[in-house]
Chain A
Amino acid sequence: MNIEALILLILLLPLIGGLSDYLLGHSRRFIATVFVAISFGLTLYLVLILENPYLAKLEWLPDFQIGIHVDKPAATLLALVAFISLLVHLFSHEYMKEDPSKHRYFAKLGFFTFSMMGLLIADNLILLFIFWELVGIASYLLIGFWFEKEEISSSARMAFMVNRVADVALFAGILMIYRSNGSLFISEIDRSILFLPSLFIAIGAFGKSAQLPFSGWLVKAMVGPTPISAFIHAATMVAAGVYLLFRVGPFLDSDVLVVIALIGVLTALYGAISAITQNDIKKVLAYSTVSQLGYMVMGIGVGAGEASLFHLWTHAFFKAGLFLGAGVIMHHLHQQKQFDAQDMRFMGGLRKKLPWTFVVFLVCGFALAGIPFSSGFMSKEGILVAAWAWADGFGTWAYLIPDVALITVLITAFYIGRLIVLVFLGENRSQEISKVIVFGENGFIKIPLALLALGSVWLVYNINPLAHHSLLDPFIGLSAVSSDSFISIAATGISILLSSTGLLLAFFFFKPGSSFSSRYLSSGEPVSIGGKLIINGLYLTSIYRGFGTAIFSASKAITWIEKQIDGFLHFIAVGGVVLSKVIAIFDRLIIDGLVNLSAWLAGLFGNVTRGVHSSQSQWQIIWLLISFVLILIWILFF
């Protein structure tokens, strides 16, 4: 099979599958799932046969080409997206079983997969932006899938708008590159990008990858169906920003790279701290994604793009596992309407009811925490070591970045430990749970979960559990993490220490029966300002809303200006009418008046002189004579 057809098939199969599911109607169909599976198979084939990067160009507009570029990183990520998409499809068959608009769901899911795959292979920045926007709209449609609920549709809109604002920066940045570099092909960029366009591109990536200050939308996006959350957090959408930075990172302005590293590490810290305080299981995971994306973005900033991409890959597995697992828990608990099925304070003891999910949470949670023998450990180490080495070359203040990143490791282990303890250990804290269990774990649930957990184990990537690079290296480019051994050993040691401490702390604080745990479970929402700030994620969403309100007020003010313009013109028009009325009065009274006056005068004169004309001919002859004499006198004497 030739490679163009292969790539086209990979790209279009999910789209076509989704559309045919949609057009064929409501019944339970598997076309979309089967097509995605085929697409996944083809991506594996593509990864195997791809030797050299494949380039293709097309003159889309006159004198303007767009093109695709499939190299090994792109091909492996295609496989990742297809794989996660396939698992999400499978899982959704069970999860969305009772939803009447399931066919619409699968159509959108197919569209989402298609857009993300297109983004991965786009070489031209405009083409990348096109798919970037399609990813955005697909996520909008899916987050707002249950649009009847006011809150859900407005959250979807907020997610889209926050992204769109960042997209404006990205779009402007891309066009500025066109102005200065003349080419928009990533593979043809040959000199570094100027400061302003670099910054704009970074802002665009921050938006999609939920970095500060755009992080709020990702938490809002939780209202969508849980498999969609898994998809967004694992392989699509948020990965787009990291991927873009990975692609253009080498050409970005060096000052902007420092900004990227800083924002990345701050976001990592922000996400982790916020995650500690959440009671909603999905929110813990959402903030955790924010935090992990911070690591990846930081990795780009310190020049370890490959390590970031590796972390993107491992994160996709364990985060998808955690999210789908959370979906199982929520579905399981949803049959009791008395409480919030996402609130961890009402959970506990679920390891008995949901053993598979428990194991998955353990494996994936350890990977998230960065415990050795997990995939997450290997990839996160790569970034940490690179950051340390980078700071070594920069000077004292730059150590801030690896230091904060290491502290975040501790916090990460703590919040995920807390989650596992609260959800699975001890006894169930809501009484009715044991009554009806309709929803359990079945094949559609188990297979995706098992595969994702499997992908979070070190052995898949390298035999040596302490290595920072993996079998994936030949595919995503050789990792830059071959720094001198001291940094490598130190970073590894410290981070193992920190992550295990975090887990142990979590266990001792929250283990069933401990005094802290019982105090915590009976407490309400935090009241202190600091606590409120943290649990609400710095109120980012409220800030967005305030911003939106401000814009709306500005638009109201502008309509006021509009009224003034219209009023002014109206005034001129009315003025014209008034003036014409005045003129009409002038015309009637003065001009017409003068005419009437002369007519009246003429009439008066006529009346006066009429007396002269008598009906008697004697008088007429006398007047005739008098006139005759008068004229004669005038002629003779004057």
Chain B
Amino acid sequence: MEYLLSYIFLFPLLIAAVMLFIRSEATTVFRRLALAATFIQVFLSVLLYVQFDKSAQISTWSGAFQFVEKLDWITMKLGSLGQLNIDYFIGVDGISLPLVVLSSLILMIGVISSWKIKEKVKGYFILYLILSSSIIGCFISLDFFLFYLCFEFMLLPMFFLIGIWGGKRRSYASIKFFLYTLLGSLFILIVMIGLYLSVVEGDSNTFSLVQMMDGFYEEGSILDPASRELLFGYSARAIAFVFLLIGFGVKLPLVPVHTWLPDAHVEAPTPISVVLAGLLLKVGAYGFFRITYGIFPDIAVEYSTLIASLGVISILYGGMNALAQNDLKRLVAYSSVSHMGFVLVGLAAITSEGASGSLFQMVSHGLISPALFLLAGVIYDRTNNREIEHFSGLASKMPLYTFFVALFFFAGLGLPGLSGFVGELIVLIGAFKASALSLWIGILATLGIAISAAYFLWTIQRMFFGKYFVRESAWEPSMVDLTAREKFMLIPLAILVLVLGIYPRLILDYSEETINFFVQHISNFNP
């Protein structure tokens, strides 16, 4: 399996290309093909996970990656400007490996959840598979240009998937999403060009993220830390850092550039909400790991209080917003904002606990929030309605559904034994341990666990406890418990949430070496 990573990356794209030649009436063929493609992807990812050498010692970033594939891709002479070198350069380390595995799993569950899509099935699945490839591509690219390409390529399918198959206000939501993230990527584009002009491999400029992280800067170039170049009176590196903060912050999402998220989540069809919450947000967080922190460690150290404060604001602000929601899906969307805040707090701690906690929180949230969106979809499928106040006492009518809702709500509110607790615990350990952060950061972040309990338990009480009641009597016949297909999606997620909650080393052992090097690399710049 020499090209294992490429298979995982490009296989969905290949299937999408095949789909082009199938007539569009054959709807079941598309579903089955997409399921087969994602299933093979899961299989290959598990293979990747098993073959990954978790004990490999790391001393430089160039030695940190496994399954590396590097090919010349685009070489272009640019006259006096020199040469444009873009490589097809991919590989995984302990940070991206869990995310690749998570992605293929969530993408497969997304396909199962798409079974009910009736309109324009061909277009839907082709776009979905393109999206799949781009998401995986983001996590494995080691060439900034390739990363950026995949990063941008997620937008287009997403835009159409929301805009065509979404809910009532879909066009508003999809345009909002598109503009927001496009604006964010422009900031990243600027930094990418700046980095290309500053980083060298041998004697030519390069897009290689590895070279950038290892810090091979051309002497005197604009982003060279030694040159202390100023732009409008500010250090060029600090400006680049802030640009990346905004660019990836939009995806994460970071308060106050998060307002695309509730609309996009609410209007997107269920499977797309699942992918959006489970994976797209993780791409933003991954960008923080790999690029913002990986390439600008010196600035990251300087700004750690700012970053941590932004994280805390996201936790509390998102949680408070969730408390006020009446729409189940909106509530889940805001809880995502809150939970992703922990990722930032953990990163800003710059301790190995904090960083592992961030990564774990990403994976854990990548399992919990898709499940929550699936569960919101269950009630929406039956009634075309998600207003919390329109339901009551569902527990006596749909016990299994209630069980899963309770399980994932408990996971979301950080009940020990489930993965959500572990993520928050490690992040908070890291944040409290970090000498760079004030004690109040940790204490305020801890408050988040009370707020999340408040909104989740209140929702359970309003929708599931009390006397059975649904608002429209027309919904009555459709109020049946989970179908086999729904169970098939929820059970694997439930098992993983439970297993990771009890044995978190299933992920942490794989990321430990990389995370330690990552933190050590950053702390070298501690003043």
Contacts and interface: CB of A to CB of B under 8 A. Distances in A.
B320 A558 contact: yes
10 contacts: A64-B429, A131-B416, A148-B465, A148-B467, A150-B467, A157-B461, A168-B446, A171-B446, A552-B323, A552-B324
Nearest to B426: A61
Interface stretch (B214-222, B382-390, B452-460, B481-489): B452-460
* Top-8 shortest CB links A-B: A153-B465, A130-B416, A555-B323, A175-B432, A555-B324, A147-B465, A555-B320, A558-B320
B273 interface: no
B47 interface: no
Contacts of A554: 320
A92 to B, nearest CB: 21
B446 to A, nearest CB: 5
A131 B508 CA distance: 22
B432 A148 contact: no
Given A137-B410, A171-B446, A147 B320 contact: no
A137 B256 contact: no
B395 interface: yes
A562 to B, nearest CB: 6
A176 B439 contact: yes
B435 to A, nearest CB: 9
Interface residues of A, number: 46
Contacts of B433: 178-179
A175 B352 CA distance: 16
A432 interface: no
B317 interface: yes
Interface string B437-469: 001001100110110011001100100111110
Contacts of B466: 147-150, 153
A64 B353 contact: yes
Interface in A517-574: 548, 551-552, 554-556, 558-559, 562, 565-566, 569, 573
A451 to B, nearest CB: 33
Interface in A555-600: 555-556, 558-559, 562, 565-566, 569, 573
Nearest to A129: B416
Contacts of A555: 320-321, 323-324
Given A62-B356, A137-B415, A150-B466, A168 B450 contact: yes
A134 interface: yes
Interface residues of B, number: 50
B175 to A, nearest CB: 9
Contact of A168 (B449, B508, B512): B449
A445 B508 CA distance: 51
B393 interface: yes
Contact of A60 (B320, B321, B504): B504
A147 B425 contact: no
Nearest to A126: B425
A334 interface: no
Given A61-B426, A130-B416, A178-B432, A565 B259 contact: yes
Interface stretch (A81-89, A159-167, A345-353): A159-167
Contacts of B465: 144, 147-148, 150, 153
Residue in B256, B432, B442 whose Cβ sees the most chain A Cβ within 10 Å: B432
Interface in A125-145: 126, 129-131, 133-134, 137, 140, 144
Interface of B: 176, 179, 256, 259, 317, 320-321, 323-325, 352-353, 356, 393, 395-396, 410, 415-417, 421-422, 425-426, 428-429, 432-433, 439, 442-443, 446-447, 449-450, 453-454, 457-458, 461, 464-468, 504-505, 508-509, 512
A556 B454 CA distance: 14
Given A133-B421, A150-B466, 5 more contacts: A137-B410, A150-B465, A154-B461, A172-B446, A566-B259
Contacts of A562: 259, 321
Interface of A: 60-64, 126, 129-131, 133-134, 137, 140, 144, 147-150, 153-154, 157, 160-161, 164-165, 167-168, 171-172, 175-176, 178-179, 548, 551-552, 554-556, 558-559, 562, 565-566, 569, 573
Contacts of A565: 256, 259
A478 to B, nearest CB: 34
A130 B429 contact: no
B515 to A, nearest CB: 9
B321 A176 contact: no
A167 B433 CA distance: 20
Nearest to B317: A558
A179 B321 contact: no
Nearest to A136: B415
A176 B179 CA distance: 43
B508 A62 contact: yes
A130 B426 contact: no
Given A62-B512, A148-B396, A164 B453 contact: yes
Contacts of B415: 133-134, 137
Contacts of A175: 428-429, 432, 442, 446
A62 B324 contact: no
B89 to A, nearest CB: 29
Which of B433, B465, B468, B509 has the largest count of A CB atoms less than 10 A from its CB? B465
Given A134-B416, A148-B393, A148-B465, A172 B454 contact: no
Contacts of A559: 321, 324-325
A592 B321 CA distance: 49
Nearest to B392: A150
Contacts of A171: 428, 446, 449
A181 B321 CA distance: 36
A373 B429 CA distance: 50
Contacts of B432: 175-176, 178-179
A147 B324 CA distance: 23
Contacts of B468: 148
Contacts of B259: 562, 565-566, 569
A157 B450 contact: no
B391 to A, nearest CB: 14
B487 to A, nearest CB: 16
B418 to A, nearest CB: 10
B467 to A, nearest CB: 6
Given A164-B453, A172-B443, A178-B429, A558 B417 contact: no
Nearest to B515: A62
A175 B505 CA distance: 21
A289 B312 CA distance: 39
Nearest to B433: A179
A150 B468 CA distance: 11
Nearest to A160: B457
Contact of A172 (B321, B395, B442): B442
Contacts of B508: 61-62
A130 B453 CA distance: 15
Contacts of B323: 551-552, 555
A60 B453 CA distance: 25
Nearest to B172: A570
B356, B416, B442 interface centre (most CB from chain A within 10 Å): B416
Contacts of A137: 410, 415
A168 to B, nearest CB: 5
Contacts of A133: 415-416, 421
Contacts of A164: 449-450, 453-454
Nearest to A127: B416
A364 B353 CA distance: 51
Contacts of A179: 432-433, 439
A64 B439 CA distance: 21
Contact of B453 (A147, A154, A161, A552): A161
Contacts of A131: 416
B408 to A, nearest CB: 14
